[in-house]
Each structure stands twice: as structure tokens, then as C-alpha cells.
Amino acid sequence: MKLAFSSNGFKALSSSRICGVMFYSTETQTSKPKKVKKDTLYSRIFKVGYDQNVSVVPILVQWAKDGKDFKKEELITIARNLKESRRLKHAYQISQWKVEDMEIVALTFS
């Protein structure tokens, strides 16, 4: 049982008769800053999706043209994840592109 003050003293109120009160604020809520996603080779390749008719080679070429580095281990990890995702054609394209790229680098320095 709850008590409320009235002009002639305290008066008992049942909980069913008490109205809810909503509080409003004039302050604006600040939203949390959105997370900035890193632009990685992995994210670019996986954005292609499961469409095996789309080649990932242009993504690799563009990444290299932009002057961004990648390591052999990174390509192996991407190819392995593609293979586990049943994207075998994309995994093959990455491994084949890396072999051709390594041959070009070997010819350039010899």
C-alpha cells in the first residue's frame, strides 16, 4: 500500500490507481561513433560473395596497383578460408595469381 499527501492529510492509494510517469529530457543523445572498418584484401575478396562467375583477380591486381603490401601468408590464409567456404574457384584464382606474380618478380630481378 502506498501513501500520498492530500489536502486533508495522508491518504492511502492502491497500486492500481497510481499512474506511471514518463520523464523527458531536453538533452540530445550523442550516438556512439561508428566503427570504421579496415580496408583489407581479405574484406575486399570476401565481399565478392559466392558467385563463382566473378573473378577475384581484378581485386588482387587493383590491390597491387594501389601499392598496398600483402604477404604470402596472407594470401595462403585467404585461399584457405575460401576453400573452407566452398569457394574453390576463388581459392584457385588466388593461388594461381600468386604463382604467376612470383614468376614475374623473379624475371624482373634476374
The per-residue pLDDT for range 81-100, each reduced to its tens digit, is 999 989 999 999 988 887 76
Radius of gyration of the chain (CA): 31
Domain count, the chain: 1
Of the chain, the percentage scoring pLDDT greater than 90 comes to 15
Q: Is residue 98 part of a domain?
A: yes
Rounded to two decimals, the pTM is: 0.57
Q: Is residue 21 part of a domain?
A: no
Position 104 in a domain? yes
CA distance 88 to 53: 12
Torsion 44-49-54-56 (CA) sign: positive
Query: What's the domain range around 70?
Result: 41-109
